[in-house]
């Protein structure tokens, strides 16, 4: 065979290993979930490639995962007959991190173990989590389609380097052998491993097998009978009836697909039959925003399956960008197994699935807003800014989204966005025809805007908008329930019936009195303003700048300038 070769891990892998071993110890059981999930992925990949090349199955087409342990040797072995790894595959996949966003991830680490642990979770701990419990990991593998002589053995102590050498391996697939650290005896038990598997991996659609154990009188302990038995239901979770799934199982499944350590905020599980297309969706709203939520291109939420066969991660065509916080699985009964991203883009079935799924998520949020106000408030605090993008992204659902919007206002407590447009309308003053708002860079700037003075005096509520997306969103939100939205900082502020006779008289009087002053101001600032006029909108400040009714607001101008336009 080829010589044993030793190589160094990519710097990021070393960093990740170090972090993981130190931050994830309290979640150490996830190593098994990760390795089983990789074994399941490897079987999915084989099944997928075998669609066009049945020879890859060799004489062994019953895909499965086996977990065993050896008390004497102090090892746990996770074995699959999936696609396998060639020598090159192993060097590439078990020595580097190829994920997008790797740089951003490392930039976000704070050194605070708890915070970093959650972040590592989101990033995906994967294969390297084996080193939380093992001080040496051996991977023996042979890739489907390669001859037995082209197997390989990869080994590492997780300390910065790994070795690869050739290995004769008759059966296709991968064996991961964990040499446990000194304090991990607890894991060398059939009962313990089984309980971890049922907790984290019950939803895996392939059989996970362990050796059957029986009480042995002579040995005074459990002894393996040599017979394998299934320890999971081997039935994809989303394909089961809702009534057969406990909330805990829904939550654990969420954790396996999202890499989140926390429970989701909410989920919706639906089977859609009849109509354009037939599919099952299981969609989750996380409790916390991921570190890269702001990035509209980072859509890492939806896994696509076709008739239980895994097709792809991050199927961005199945969810619009403004719902990029949604995680879950969509399993279609109609799409072809060899569907590509390009085909997805044009498929009418996909369009129907996306539209249906968006409606389910909106329904879930509406329910939450109506029945679980606190939960909705926490959803809004995490994801509100992203949902606002929907006002422009999704004209068909604009009205439903508008009802889900929440704002800070002159009548709400502090910075929290809690006021819905419906709340606002219900509180409108007699004679008030419009919904008033003010935009600014920060909440404080909005709250103390001089434009609010007259509204305060008249007791009229004003929405205080200071998120980056607000100006953009407002261009799609002209009215709500027949009430026009009106900026307090634009044009000749028409207060309509709110302005009384007294006001009008005062204004006239002041206009006459200040004619000369206005003229002087206009002359002095002639290249910089369009006109100077008397206003009733100020009560404490002497003057303010307002935008032309048709023009851009000052705030938007500043934002465009910052963006270099
Ligand atoms: P991810 O699963 O998110 O890709 P992991 O760190 O879990 O990241 O695994 C890294 C890569 O190692 C996988 O993408 C796959 O290419 C390879 N790999 C891991 N386990 C196996 C396995 N049992 N069989 C084949 N390939 C594997
Ligand atoms: Mg993985």
* pLDDT at position 552 over 80: no
Does the beta carbon of 82 lie inside 6 Å of ligand 1?
A: yes
Residue 144 has pLDDT above 90, yes or no: yes
Q: What is the whole-number distance in angstroms between the Cα of residue 284 and the centre of ligand 2?
A: 20
Residue 561, pLDDT above cutoff 70: no
What pLDDT score does 46 carry?
Answer: 94
Testing ligand 1's pocket by substitution, the residue of 12, 33, 35, 41 carrying the most ligand atoms inside 8 A of its CB is 41
* Spatial CB neighbours of 21, under 8 Å, sequence gap ≥ 6: 131, 132, 158
Q: Which ligand is nearest to the CA of 143?
A: 1
> Over the range 135-157, which residues count as b (16 or more CB within 10 Å of their CB) and which as e?
ebbbbbbbbbbbeeebbbbbbbe
pLDDT in tens, 331-382: 998 888 777 778 888 888 899 999 999 999 999 999 999 999 999 999 999 9
How far apart (Å, rounded) are the C-alpha atoms in residues 223 and 219? 8
Report CA(54)–ligand 1 centroid distance (Å).
22
Would the pLDDT of 480 be above 90? yes
Residue 360 has a CB neighbour count (10 Å cut-off) of: 18
Element (H, E) at 562: helix 554-562
Mean pLDDT of 454-473: 92
What pLDDT shows up at residue 55?
94
Grade residue 1 by pLDDT with cuts at 50, 70 and 90.
Answer: very low
Digit-coded pLDDT (tens) for 155-183: 999 999 999 999 999 999 999 999 999 99
Give the pLDDT of residue 489. 80
When pLDDT is cut at 50, 70 and 90, the band that residue 481 belongs to is very high
d(CA 325, ligand 2 centre) in Å: 21
Which residues make beta-bridge pairs with 46? Answer: none
The residue whose CA has the least distance to atom 18 of ligand 1 is 38
Could you give the count of Cα atoms lying within 13 Å of 460 in the half-sphere of its Cβ? 25
Q: Which helix (H) or strand (E) holds 32?
A: helix 30-50
pTM: 0.71
Give the model's pLDDT for residue 346. 80
Asked if residue 392 has pLDDT above 50, the reply is yes
Predicted confidence at residue 308, as pLDDT, reads: 79
Read off the pLDDT band of 522 (50, 70, 90): confident
Which pLDDT does position 205 carry in this prediction?
Answer: 86
């Amino acid at each position: 065979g080829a010589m044993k070769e030793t190589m160094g891990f990519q710097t990021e892998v070393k960093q990740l290993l170090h972090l993981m071993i130190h931050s994830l110890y309290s979640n150490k059981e996830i190593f098994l979930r990760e390795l089983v999930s990789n074994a399941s992925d490897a079987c999915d990949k084989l099944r997928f490639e075998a669609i066009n090349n049945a020879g890859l199955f060799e004489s062994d087409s019953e895909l499965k995962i086996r977990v065993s342990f050896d008390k004497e040797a102090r090892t746990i072995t996770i074995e699959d007959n999936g696609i396998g790894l060639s020598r090159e595959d192993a060097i590439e996949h078990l020595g580097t991190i190829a994920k997008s966003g790797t740089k951003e991830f490392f930039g976000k680490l704070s050194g605070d173990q708890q915070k970093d642990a959650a972040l590592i979770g989101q990033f995906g701990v994967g294969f390297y989590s084996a080193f939380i419990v093992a001080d040496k990991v051996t991977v023996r593998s042979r890739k489907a389609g390669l001859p037995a002589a082209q197997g390989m053995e990869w080994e590492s102590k997780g300390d910065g380097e790994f070795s690869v050498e050739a290995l004769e391996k008759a059966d296709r697939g991968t064996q991961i052998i964990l040499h446990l650290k000194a304090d991990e005896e607890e894991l060398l038990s059939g009962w313990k491993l089984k309980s971890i598997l049922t907790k984290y991996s019950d939803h895996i659609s392939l059989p996970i097998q362990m050796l059957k154990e029986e009480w042995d009188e002579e040995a005074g302990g459990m002894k393996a009978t040599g017979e394998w038995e299934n320890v999971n239901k081997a039935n994809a979770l989303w394909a089961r009836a809702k009534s057969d799934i406990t909330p805990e199982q829904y939550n654990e499944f969420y954790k396996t697909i999202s890499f989140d350590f926390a429970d989701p905020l909410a989920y919706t599980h639906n089977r859609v039959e009849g109509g354009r297309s037939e599919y099952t969706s299981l969609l989750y709203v996380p409790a916390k925003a991921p570190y890269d939520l702001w990035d509209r291109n980072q859509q890492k939420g939806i896994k696509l399956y076709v008739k239980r066969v895994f097709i792809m991660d991050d199927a961005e065509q199945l969810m619009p960008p403004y719902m990029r916080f949604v995680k879950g699985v969509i399993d279609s009964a109609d799409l072809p197994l060899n569907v590509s991203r390009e085909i997805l883009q044009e498929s009418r079935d996909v369009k129907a699935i996306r539209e249906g799924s968006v409606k389910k998520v909106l329904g879930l949020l509406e329910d939450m807003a109506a029945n679980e106000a606190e939960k909705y408030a926490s959803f809004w605090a995490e994801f509100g800014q992203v949902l606002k993008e929907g006002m422009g992204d999704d004209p068909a659902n604009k009205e439903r989204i508008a009802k889900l919007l929440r704002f800070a206002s002159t009548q709400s407590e502090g910075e929290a966005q809690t006021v819905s447009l419906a709340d606002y309308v219900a509180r409108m003053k007699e004679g008030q025809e419009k919904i008033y708002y003010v935009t600014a860079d920060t909440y404080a700037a909005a709250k103390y805007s001089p434009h609010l003075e007259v509204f305060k005096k008249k007791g009229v509520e004003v929405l205080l908008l200071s998120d980056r997306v607000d100006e953009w969103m407002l261009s799609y939100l002209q009215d709500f329930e027949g009430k026009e939205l009106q900026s307090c900082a634009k044009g000749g502020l028409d207060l309509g019936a709110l302005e009384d006779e007294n006001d009008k008289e005062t204004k006239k009087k002041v206009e006459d009195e200040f004619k000369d002053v206005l003229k002087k101001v206009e002359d002095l600032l002639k290249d910089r303003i369009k006109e100077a006029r008397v206003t009733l909108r100020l009560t404490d400040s002497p003057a303010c700048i307002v935008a032309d009714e048709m023009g851009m607001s000052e705030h938007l101008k500043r934002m465009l300038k910052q963006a270099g336009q």
